[in-house]
Amino acid sequence: MHIKSEIRVLGIDDSSLIHASVIIIGAFMRGGEQLDGVLRSQITRDGMDATDSIISMVRGSKHYGQIRVIMLDGVTYAGFNPVDVKRLYAETGIAVIVFMRSCPDLERIKLALEHLPEKEERWEIIQRAGRIYRIDGVNPVFIQLCGIEKESAIQIIRMTSTHGNIPEPLRLAHLIATGVVLGESTGKA
């Protein structure tokens, strides 16, 4: 995959878990420098609608034809509302990079799912996200991929991480999401 410096990336993050309905924000950027658009949708706290909601948000956007990569902040949103990255890729045709600041403790996640309905389906979706790769650096980060090669994904992560080790599309999506819900952005992306 040839990667231009202004590759169009959509970073998606969720807002704080204050209500049963949680806002998700997509920050549509050129590389790691220019914000070109903001998308919004809603999902259910600990629900099973994150994948459908993200697919609808992406496909309904005027930016749909320009997005080359969808970057997710982990594979679950709004608590334990899992995103099926394979289905997201299949139904949008856009490569998916799942970004994580730390390696997830899958055994702990599996135990937490015991308290939720549809625990087996949630666990299958989380496992379908595939292999977790470590990207070494000053602060190692972890990724999962669908529709993109590891080397290309690492190049995009590094290219868009212009103000630290968090890719700008995810950092901005987080700032916008928490700012909209809480009145002021808080916490780390």
pLDDT category at 187 given cuts 50, 70, 90 is: low
CA distance 74 to 67: 19
What is residue 1's predicted lDDT score, i.e. its pLDDT? 63
Q: Report pLDDT digits (tens) over 63-111.
A: 999 999 999 999 999 999 999 999 999 999 999 999 999 999 999 999 9
Sequence-ordered list of residues with C-beta below 8 angstroms from that of 39, at least 6 positions apart, any chain:
10, 25, 26, 28, 57, 58, 61, 63
Per-residue confidence (pLDDT) for residue 183, from 0 to 100: 76
Provide the angle, in degrees to the nearest 10, between the axes of the packed helices 85-92 and 50-59: 20
pLDDT in tens, 20-63: 899 999 999 998 889 999 999 999 999 999 999 999 999 999 99
pTM of the model: 0.95
Domain ranges of the chain: 8-182
Q: Kindly indicate the confidence band of residue 19, based on its pLDDT and cuts at 50, 70 and 90.
A: confident
What is the CATH superfamily name and number for domain 8-182? Answer: archaeoglobus fulgidus dsm 4304 superfamily (3.30.2170.10)
